Amino acid sequence: MQLRPSRQYVVDRLREIRAADPELAQRLRRLQKFSGTIRTNVVFLTRACDIRCQGCWYFGHGMEKGVSETTDVDLADAFARQLAGAGVTHALLLGGEPTLVPDRIRAFTRHVRHVTVVTNGLRPLPREADFDEVNLAVSVFGGGPLDDQLRGIRPNGSRFTGLFPQALRNYQGDRRAVFIYALSDDSTEHIEDTVRRIRDNGNQVSFSFYSAYDTDTPITPDSSRREDLLNEALRVRVLYPDAVTSHPYYIRTAVTGRSHWAEFGYDVCATISETHPDHLKRLANGNPVLPEFAAYRPDLRTVQFCCTSGDCRGCRDSQAVHSWLLVSLPHFLESVARLREWVEVAESFYRQYYWSPYHPRHT
């Protein structure tokens, strides 16, 4: 792992690059101005879910246990108001399945400027005034028949089919929706068709990498199949640039777990809850984290370890990987081309959010 560049190096290099490329400097200023208004907190809104995905880190780690769930909408409203008062401008709502509790989602849209709902897609979030500006992150695992194999499982263990087609119907033409497509080593032959169907449905797609959290090896070692998967994901991105938001640099990092200076893992992860007591050593290592980031459990009181399960062995969470890259600007200052790559990664990240000025509806 490379040492983090010094502050003076960063200041000097930014000055040099801005002078060398005014257009890039303008894009960087715009990004920094917007990103400076975004402060994200994660809220696990409910323990309930209507499916049991294989590889679900929430139920795979028993995260629905050991804590109560705040069902009182007035308490949820007060909590959302508290977050907004503390400067949180983006509430990322997880579960369980948040669309099962729309009144609690509504509590956040009343108070927090930007809201993203992560959903399995089985039921639609209504298109109504309170949800007009909500960003919807719809899950897909594997693509093609793999999605039903991995996600078409009811809480009682019985299986069903057609989850992805149902999600497409629920969000047809809905520009709020971006499909978060978790690629796996078995996905290669399904990527193009899955992306095409999402594009034809009027939605965007962002790639992540599937971790089988229900196994002893959430992510298997790199293999020739992994290289084929990466090459196909990059090829499909070129074919469908209007649909795929993910930048090639991010795709490589998500699939391989490596950037050009380090491997992704706990020591560099930026989406840890700053006030959680287990992070004292991590915070002392000097690698940046999202400022004042916190993840809250469904009691709306307990601070959780991080934005996912806390099982870092297999984590390739798309938010976590993207956030690591975004807080790592100093590692992208070796050249104008490298800084342009970082700017493009950041612009593509914000493109997936319906409430962002980088979303296609504003272009």
Q: Phi and psi of 166, rounded to 5°?
A: -65, -40
Residues 6 or more apart in contact with residue 291 via CB below 8 angstroms: 39, 274
Answer yes or no: is 361 within a domain. no
Q: Is 316:254 a contact under the CB 8 Å cutoff?
A: yes
Q: Is the pLDDT reported for residue 214 higher than 80? A: no
Answer yes or no: is 206 within a domain. yes
User: How confident is the model at residue 1, as a pLDDT?
Assistant: 57
Answer yes or no: is 11 within a domain. yes
Answer yes or no: is 272 within a domain. yes
CATH classification of the domain holding 243: 3.20.20
Output 46 or 1, whichever has higher pLDDT.
46
Q: Is the pLDDT reported for residue 2 higher than 70? A: no
Output 326 or 222, whichever has higher pLDDT.
326
> Please, what is the end-to-end C-alpha distance for the chain in angstroms?
38
Q: What is the DSSP string of 60-123?
A: HTTTTSSS-----HHHHHHHHHHHHHTT--EEEEESS-GGG-HHHHHHHHHH-SEEEEEE-SSS
Averaged pLDDT, 326-349 = 97
Averaged pLDDT, 97-122 = 98
pLDDT 10s digits, 126-178: 999 999 999 999 999 999 999 999 999 999 999 999 999 999 999 999 999 99
User: How confident is the model at residue 224, as a pLDDT?
Assistant: 86
If pLDDT is split at 50, 70 and 90, which confidence band does 255 have? very high
Answer yes or no: is 362 within a domain. no
Answer yes or no: is 336 within a domain. yes
* Buried/exposed code over 130-150 (b: 16+ C-beta within 10 A; e: otherwise): bbeebbbbbbbbbbbebbbeb
Q: Is the pLDDT reported for residue 117 higher than 80? A: yes
Number of H helices, E strands in the chain: 13, 8
Reported as half-sphere exposure (CB side, CA atoms, 13 A), residue 55 has a value of: 25
Question: How far apart, in whole angstroms, are the C-alpha atoms of residue 52 and residue 109?
Answer: 27
Reported as half-sphere exposure (CB side, CA atoms, 13 A), residue 217 has a value of: 4
Cα-trace Rg, the chain: 20
Query: Residue 93 belongs to what domain range?
Result: 7-356
Task: Report helix, strand or coil for 248.
Answer: helix
pLDDT 10s digits, 63-105: 999 899 999 999 999 999 999 999 999 999 999 999 999 999 9
* β-bridge partners, 44: 94
Answer yes or no: is 16 within a domain. yes
If pLDDT is split at 50, 70 and 90, which confidence band does 29 have? very high
User: How confident is the model at residue 217, as a pLDDT?
Assistant: 81
| Kind and range of the H or E run holding 181 | strand 177-183
User: How confident is the model at residue 314, as a pLDDT?
Assistant: 83
Q: Is the pLDDT reported for residue 356 higher than 60? A: yes
If pLDDT is split at 50, 70 and 90, which confidence band does 198 have? very high
- In this structure, of 90-104, 133-147, 215-229, 293-307, the range with the lowest mean pLDDT score is 215-229
Task: For the chain, give the mean pLDDT.
Answer: 95
User: How confident is the model at residue 222, as a pLDDT?
Assistant: 82
* Buried/exposed code over 73-89 (b: 16+ C-beta within 10 A; e: otherwise): eeebbebbeebbeeebe
User: How confident is the model at residue 104, as a pLDDT?
Assistant: 98
Question: How far apart, in whole angstroms, are the C-alpha atoms of residue 135 and residue 117?
Answer: 6
Q: Phi and psi of 304, rounded to 5°?
A: -90, 160
pTM of structure: 0.96
> How many domains does the chain contain in total?
1
| Cα 285 off chain centre by | 24
Q: Is 145:43 a contact under the CB 8 Å cutoff?
A: no
Question: How far apart, in whole angstroms, are the C-alpha atoms of residue 177 and residue 171?
Answer: 7
Answer yes or no: is 52 within a domain. yes
Place of tokens 């840890």: 272
Q: Is the pLDDT reported for residue 303 higher than 60? A: yes
